[in-house]
Amino acid sequence: MSDSHHTIEALFDEARTFPPPPELASRAIVQSDEIYAEAEADLEGYWARQAERVVWRERWSQVLDWSKAPFAKWFVGAKLNVTESCLDRHLANHADRVAYYWEGEPGDRKILTYGELHTEVCRLANALASLGVEKGDRVAIYMGMVPEMPIALLACARLGAPHSVVFGGFSAESLADRINDASAKVLITCDGAWRGGAVVPLKDMADDALTRTPSIEHVVVVRRTGSDVSMTSGRDVWYDQIVPDQPAQRPATECDSEDLLYLLYTSGTTAKPKGIVHSCGGYLVGAAASHSMVFDLHEEEDIYWCTADIGWVTGHSYVVYGPLANGATSVIYEGGPSFPDKDRFWDIVERYGVTLFYTAPTSIRTFMKWGESHLEKHDLSSLRLLGTVGEPINPEAWMWYRKNVGGDRCPIVDTWWQTETGGLMISPLPGVTTTKPGSATVPLPGISADVVDEEGRSVPLGQGGYLVITKPWPSMLRGIYGDDDRFVETYWRRFSKPEENRWVYFAGDGAKRDHDGYYWLLGRVDDVMNVSGHRISTLEVESALVDHPAVAEAAVVGRDDPVTGQAIAAFVTLRGDRVGDEMLIAELRDHVAGKIGKIARPASIVFTDELPKTRSGKIMRRLLRDISEQRKLGDVTTLANEAVVQEIAERAKSMHRADG
Ligand code: PRX
């Protein structure tokens, strides 16, 4: 966190400001900043009003029950099925409105109206029910971005069966761990997925995982790439054999507001990913309200495109649940941004007339690197609002995005949030908030945040500290699946004062507020890296490395990277007299990819005879970060062996030279 301080500091006071564009402000969904005060004055009243966006079968007796804090209940006693908000309610007046324009990487296209989406969801729900899926059963989803993916999430929700989506870039082992942690009963997957012109062999990887997932009874396989895959009879069924003949109706299963809607695993500070628990009512209220207000959605006019994979929380909240609850028309694109050429995204924006565009800083920096010529080929004048999410956006990238994608006319909403928060937390409201490049601006109405010091005291404006959330919010995580203690320990122990009944959520991020009270996110303060907007635990990568027979010990840090935000730098000591060479580096990188997924493959590996440790044996990651970023080395006086550091620094330097 201290690393980013200098640049941020310098930018604070000289930051340019961009008031809301008048033409957007004059017809924005939120036009007055009074909404902040209204929410502040009556938090529960505010959220009860937002809850009117959702279709309820039975209303709540109490908006918030915080009596068992930090275990929250929102809209207590209310009954709903989230798919009635996302699908059924749209049938009466706009069944023909497009829900999704889907485009495959090879160029094939498909349109799903709300009416068609409803039918497809009911059919798959019927098929899953025929395979024995009942309310409460967990269903794992491991797919590429095909139309059947949002259908799969919604079909589970229709049955009240919580889904657990595992991003298609994760390895067989990661998939198996997540399936086992949740004891999932059914897996929905694809034969393969298109990515960058090649096939990701999802079913082969699933088969590998399925050798150690005793809870799985059936596997539903979507035919996408036509790859040759093995089907285990009695267990595996093709989607196109079991779904199309199902009845086109399926009554939605009634759920309690607090019933589990889904699990989504995310990396923390230990090697074991946590199953973040989201419930039905509060989650949908949070996702729908934030989607409408922050993206200024005019559902009858806008074409909205969030480029995130549904495998991540951004896809859950802002490709599936939020947009559908709001009746939005969205674009879903299956593949990579450079296939067949580096203008694929802009081609899509132009062809569909995308008005609202939401992507990650790492993509923006990649587009910067590729150059403006790819954008200039296309008419991007349909765009009227841009968003970013996933990591801090550097002001240069923000300005580039505004100028080259937004034609200097579109406001940018930099949205800070997390898997755990379920929905956006700190973000501009485009019709009222003046933005500054690099700042996520201020907490949304109904969200109470603060920046605190080590002791949990609010720090004055202009200073940095830990970002915390001081009041509960509807889409907050309800726990870590099967591990209440870890939930309390991870998020609530550090800054709460239970004896005063004061519960403070610790996000794991550093932040600084400027003199206007604007929040500047400074990155993680724990052992979590952020690589291309993906959260990866240093410990998880370390344990994948030491799992290799040649490795004795490993230390992993995230070093600054101009495109991916952070890159994974590993330091490894080898067993016995094993000698580290290029081949072993390649082998270790593959090993990590096999254990976790390609996104976790270290960018660099340095072999060393020893790791720098304190006298008490703790690995000094700070020093390794200094080495990786080729900074002057920090304080080494607490080191057990100072010479080690110099030696590693030399090796890392020669590696950087070799990298060019
Ligand atoms: O460090 C913050 C960073 O991403 C983390 C959350 O990661 P994940 O749960 O995977 O969710 C990503 C998408 C919501 C946060 O703890 N982060 C996310 N958005 C921003 C951000 N950092 C700075 N600015 C953002 N807008």
Question: Is the shortest distance between the CB of 274 and ligand 1 below 6 Å?
Answer: no
341, pLDDT greater than 60: yes
Residue 645 has pLDDT above 80, yes or no: no
Q: Please say if the pLDDT value at position 643 is more than 80.
A: no
Mean pLDDT, rounded, for 481-489: 97
Q: CA–CA separation, 462 vs 40, rounded Å?
A: 23
Q: Residues near 1 by Cβ (< 8 Å), separated by ≥ 6?
A: 464, 510, 522, 523, 525
- For residues 551 and 428, state if they share a domain: no
340 occurs within a structural domain = yes
Distance 415 CA to ligand 1 centre (A): 8
Section 244-250 average pLDDT: 98
209 domain-assigned: yes
Question: Do both 46 and 153 map to the same domain?
Answer: yes
Judge whether residue 9 has pLDDT over 80: no
Q: Is 512 in the pocket of ligand 1 (CB under 6 A)?
A: no
User: Residue of the nearest CA to atom 21 in ligand 1?
Assistant: 391
In a domain, 486, yes or no: no
Inside any domain, residue 227: yes
Residue nearest to atom 24 of ligand 1 (CA): 392
pLDDT for 116 equals 98
- Is the pLDDT higher at 505 or at 7? 505
Give Dmax (Cα) for the chain: 74
Residue 3: pLDDT band with limits 50, 70, 90? very low
pLDDT for position 458: 98
pLDDT value for 5: 43
CA 314 to ligand 1 center in whole angstroms: 10
| Residue 323 sits in the same domain as residue 449 | yes
Ligand 1 atom with minimal separation from the 393 CA: 24
309 within ligand 1 shell (Cβ under 6 A): no
Strand bridging mode 551-561 / 519-524? unpaired
- Stretch 407-431: mean pLDDT, rounded? 98
CB 334 within 8 A of CB 102: yes
Residue 319 confidence (pLDDT) above 50: yes
pLDDT band with cut points at 50, 70 and 90 for residue 421: very high
Q: Does any ligand 1 atom lie closer than 6 A to the CB of residue 535? A: yes
Beta-carbon contacts of 617 under 8 Å, excluding residues fewer than 6 positions away, are 640
**391 CB under 6 A from ligand 1?**
yes
Enumerate the β-bridge partners of residue 521: 511
154 lines ligand 1 (CB under 6 A): no
Q: Which of 50-54, 73-77, 161-165, 638-642 has the lowest mean pLDDT?
A: 638-642
Is there an atom of ligand 1 within 6 Å of 167 CB?
no
Q: Is 381 within a domain?
A: yes
Pairing assessment for the beta strands 479-480 and 505-513 based on DSSP bridges:
unpaired
Answer with the one of 469, 484, 518 that is the final residue of a domain.
Answer: 469
Asked if residue 55 is part of any domain, the answer here is yes
Q: Is the CB of 317 under 6 A from ligand 1?
A: no
Q: Considering only CA atoms, which of 454, 421, 457, 453 is closest in space to residue 440? A: 421
Indicate the residue among 415, 437, 469 that finishes a domain. Answer: 469
pLDDT digits (tens, 9 = 90+) for 214-236: 999 999 999 999 999 999 999 99
Contacts (Cβ under 8 Å, ≥6 apart) of 34: none
pLDDT tens-digit map of 492-521: 999 999 999 999 999 999 999 999 999 999
Please indicate, yes or no, whether residues 424 and 562 belong to a single structural domain of this protein. Answer: no
Question: What tokens were used for 570?
Answer: 């590993």
First to last CA, the chain: 27
User: Ligand 1 centre from 417 Cα, in Å?
Assistant: 5
534 CA closest ligand 1 atom index: 10
Domain hosting residue 636, numbered range: 532-652
pLDDT category at 175 given cuts 50, 70, 90 is very high
CB 149 within 8 A of CB 141: yes
Distance 469 CA to ligand 1 centre (A): 14
Distance, in Å, from the CA atom of 122 to the CA atom of 116, rounded to the nearest integer, reads: 10
Same domain, 425 and 566: no
| Alpha carbon separation from 133 to 40, 127, 162 (Å, rounded) | 43, 9, 10
From the alpha carbon of 521, which atom of ligand 1 is closest? Answer: 23
- Domain assignment of residue 69, yes or no: yes
Q: How many CB atoms lie within 10 A of CB 484?
A: 12
Instruction: Output the pLDDT for position 108.
Output: 97
Question: Is the minimum distance from the CB of 266 to ligand 1 under 6 angstroms?
Answer: yes
Indicate which CATH number applies to the domain containing 622: 3.30.300.30
Higher pLDDT, 643 or 256: 256
Name the 3-class secondary structure at 299: coil
Tell me: the pLDDT tens digits for 354-409? 999 999 999 999 999 999 999 999 999 999 999 999 999 999 999 999 999 999 99
> Which residue, judged by its Cα, is nearest atom 22 of ligand 1?
391
Mean pLDDT of 2-14: 49
Shared domain for 455 and 541, answered yes or no, is no
Same domain, 457 and 539: no
CA 627, 633, 636, 641 torsion: positive or negative? positive
What is the percent of the chain where pLDDT is above 70? 95
In the predicted structure, residue 459 carries a pLDDT above the cut 80: yes
| 390 CA distance to ligand 1 middle (Å) | 4
Q: Which atom of ligand 1 is the closest one to the Cα of 523?
A: 1
Residues 166 and 249 grouped into a single domain: yes
CATH number at residue 75: 3.40.50.12780
Domain-terminating residue out of 416, 441, 469: 469
- Is residue 419 within 6 Å of ligand 1 at its C-beta? yes
Region 297-312: mean pLDDT is 98
Task: Decide: 518 in ligand 1 pocket, CB within 6 A.
Answer: no
Q: Is 314 in the pocket of ligand 1 (CB under 6 A)?
A: yes
Q: Is the beta carbon of 418 within 6 A of some atom in ligand 1?
A: yes
Give the nearest ligand 1 atom to 440 CA: 26
CB 159 within 8 A of CB 133: yes
Does this model's pTM top 0.85? Answer: yes
Q: Examine the pLDDT at 10 and tell me if it is beyond 80.
A: no
Same domain, yes or no, for 14 and 128? yes
pLDDT of residue 4 exceeding 50: no
- Percent of the residues in the chain that have a pLDDT greater than 90, as a whole number: 87
Which has the higher per-residue pLDDT, 4 or 328?
328
Indicate whether 476 belongs to any domain: no
What's the CA-to-centroid distance between 418 and ligand 1, angstroms? 5
Residue whose Cα lies nearest atom 14 of ligand 1: it is: 418
Which residue type sits at 32? S
pLDDT value at residue 154? 99
Number of domains making up the chain:
2
- Do 27 and 149 lie in a common domain? yes
- Reported as a single tens digit per residue, the pLDDT across 114-173 is 999 999 999 999 999 999 999 999 999 999 999 999 999 999 999 999 999 999 999 999
13 and 86, same structural domain?
yes
| CA 308–ligand 1 middle distance (angstroms) | 13
Q: Mean pLDDT, the chain, as a whole number? A: 94
Please tell me the residue having the least CA distance from ligand 1 atom 18.
390
Listed in sequence order, the residues at least 6 apart from 325 whose beta carbon sits closer than 8 Å to its beta carbon are 53, 54, 82, 85, 86, 284, 287, 288, 291
Please tell me the total number of residues recorded for the chain in this structure.
660
Q: How far away, in angstroms, is 292 Cα from ligand 1 center?
A: 20
Q: Is residue 64 lining ligand 1, measured as CB closer than 6 Å?
A: no
Q: Are 243 and 314 within one domain?
A: yes
Count CB neighbours of 499 within 10 A.
Answer: 6
Question: How is residue 484 written in tokens?
Answer: 């209440």
Q: Which atom of ligand 1 is nearest to the CA of 535?
A: 10
